[in-house]
Structure formats: structure tokens, C-alpha cells
Amino acid sequence: MANKYWESVRVMLGGEPRRQPPSDYSEEAKTIHFYKKSEKLDFKALKIEAREHQKKGVWLKRRWITLLAINLLFVVSYWLDIQILEGALTASRLLGFHMIDLNSALQVMLAHKHIIVNLLIGTGTVLVLWLLLGGRTFCSWVCPYHFLAENTERLHLYLVAKKWVADHAFLRSVRTVFWLLFALMAMVTGYTVFETISPTGILSRALIYGPGLALGWVLLLLLFEVFYSRRAWCRYVCPIGLTYGIVGVFSPLHVTYKLANCHHEAECRKVCEVPHVLDCVIKGRSPAAQIDIGADCTRCGMCIDVCPSGALTFEIKGLRKIM
């Protein structure tokens, strides 16, 4: 069990998923793989079916509604002064109860070089929340930059398909280097450098208090992602995703993969922001009949929306799958 959690963290920090030798596969998985070898499937038809299934976008719609509702609640609370959700995503109060972004709190404490007691209650609340929901769920269900990047990604994919631009990938371990770099800068300068350039904080404050020049930086990031590297900020830079990912290692909420249901048409990996977490769906790779997708998964539900066979589902440990 400990090895499972460590492997999840190792991959999240930038390591490549390890392919287990077939001798280590469970007996059930070996049996399923054996019968799958003799399957004769029409992959072209399966891919068309998967794309038609994606058009329903059940989890996409739920996620966008949730994300927009949370961010608009900040706006409404401020402009109507109804004090339901005050502040911004970096630090807020829900009905008077403090909630503080974990990465922001960490940056502040590193800058001040001591534990700030006043931050503990707010961070504790958020810690428990994202421990239950899966840390990187914050990225896809709350973060306003994720919403913009996800939609501009469509333009990037269109340009790549037309061969007008090329997609450039970087080492995923670069994100870990940036996490350490931002932490070091906070300690050395006594200033939360990352908060100055975080598109999450910039967009949250712009929505609530009005736009500023900092939105120019967000625009530059989006242009970089459209014309050079797909989802570069979220994949290779943002320390928020890594901080919340570590918190979500022990989360009971997972996307779960069922080997027996999978047709291996690979559409799920195409739509996934972090396709390395779905390495197990490649034919012959799954060491078990059922696997929980690792902590770097954002629980966005895109893979579930595109999967026509029910091989991928949201599940809570000890409970039935979430419909």
C-alpha cells in the first residue's frame, strides 16, 4: 500500500510511470489481458463512438457550472455586500469562517520564516476539504485560469491539426523545480513572489475588484499556450497543482479504471490534461483489474465523458460510484 502512494507521488513529481512486468500482474488482470489479445475490435468505430459520447459532456457541464458559481459568488458577495463569501481564492471567509489557499499560506510562512498561528485554522479547513475531494480537484473545479486555459486549448489543438503551429512538451519534473524555486525565493526575499505572478490570484482579484495591468501577464501565458505549448502553465510551472496534489494522495475520491470494460481506443488520454496518469489504460499495461488513478489527476471528468464503455468512473472508497 505504501508503495502505491509513493509511486503516485513519484509520478506527480515528474517521474515516468513504471511498467510492471507481467509476472507481477494480478491473476484476474492476467486472465482479462489473455482474452483481450484475441479480441478483434473496429478501433475506427470505437473512436467515433467515444467522440459522440464526449459530446454529452456530463461532467464537463457540472464542472463548469461549479467553477463559475464559486467564482461568481465571490463577485456577488463583494458587489452586493452580502458577506457570504468574502475575499478571493487566495484567502477568503465563507459565512465568517476563514479559508486560506494552502500554497499561499505556505508561501507566506516561508517568507516570514515561522508558522503563523492565525493561518492555521483557515489552512486546516482547506486541507481537510481537499483531502476529502482530492487535492488537484481544485485545479479543474475552482481555478479560473484552468477555465480559460481549457477553452483556449481548443484553439491550440485546431492550429496544431492545421499544422500552423507545433506543440512543444517539456519535462514534467520542471514543475517540481519551479515549486522549489518559488519556495526558495519566498525564504530569501521575504516576499511571496509567486503570488505576484499567479494567474489564479490575478484572475480571482480581477473578477472581484476589477481588472488591472496584471491581466496582461495572464494574456501572455494564454498566448504562449495557444502558439507554443499546450497547457504549459498548469503542466510545467504552477506550484498550486503540486501542493494540492500532495494533499490529495490519500483522498478517498478517485477516478477508477476497470480493465475489463476498456476497449483501449485511447480517446481518454487525448483529452486528459495529465495523460501520464492514464498510462494504465494502454493495452497490456494494467497490473490489476481495477486501479485508482494517481494523485496528479485533476478529477476533471473529461476521460469519463469520452469513455463509452464505462471503464472510467468517479468512485469514493467504500461507497458506490458517483453518477
pLDDT in tens, 249-301: 889 999 999 999 898 888 899 999 999 999 999 988 999 999 999 899 999 99
The pLDDT score that the predictor gives to residue 265 is: 84
The runs of H, that is alpha helices, within the chain are 2-12, 27-37, 43-54, 58-79, 102-112, 117-133, 137-141, 144-161, 174-189, 193-197, 199-209, 215-227, 232, 239-247, 267-271, 302-306
Residue 69 is placed in which grid cell? 458559481
pTM assigned to the model: 0.90
The pLDDT score that the predictor gives to residue 321 is: 63
List, edge to edge, every strand of the sheet that includes 85-88: 85-88, 91-94, 97-100
Summarize the confidence of residues 86-96 as an average pLDDT: 83
Say how many C-beta atoms besides its own lie within 10 A of residue 3's C-beta. Answer: 8
pLDDT band at 207 (very low <50, low <70, confident <90, very high): very high
Region of poorest pLDDT, from 95-99, 108-112, 197-201:
95-99
In which domain, by residue range, is 238 found? 1-14+23-323
For residues 221 and 15, the model is more confident at 221
The most confident of the ranges 29-43, 87-101, 120-134, 189-203 is 189-203
Is pLDDT at 193 greater than 70 in this prediction? Answer: yes
Length of the chain in residues, anyone? 323
Q: Report percent pLDDT > 70 for the chain.
A: 96
Distance between CA atoms of 198 and 195, rounded to whole angstroms?
A: 5
pLDDT band at 3 (very low <50, low <70, confident <90, very high): confident
Domain count, the chain: 1
Is pLDDT at 1 greater than 70 in this prediction? Answer: no
Summarize the confidence of residues 31-51 as an average pLDDT: 75
Distance between CA atoms of 225 and 203, rounded to whole angstroms?
A: 17
The pLDDT score that the predictor gives to residue 320 is: 62
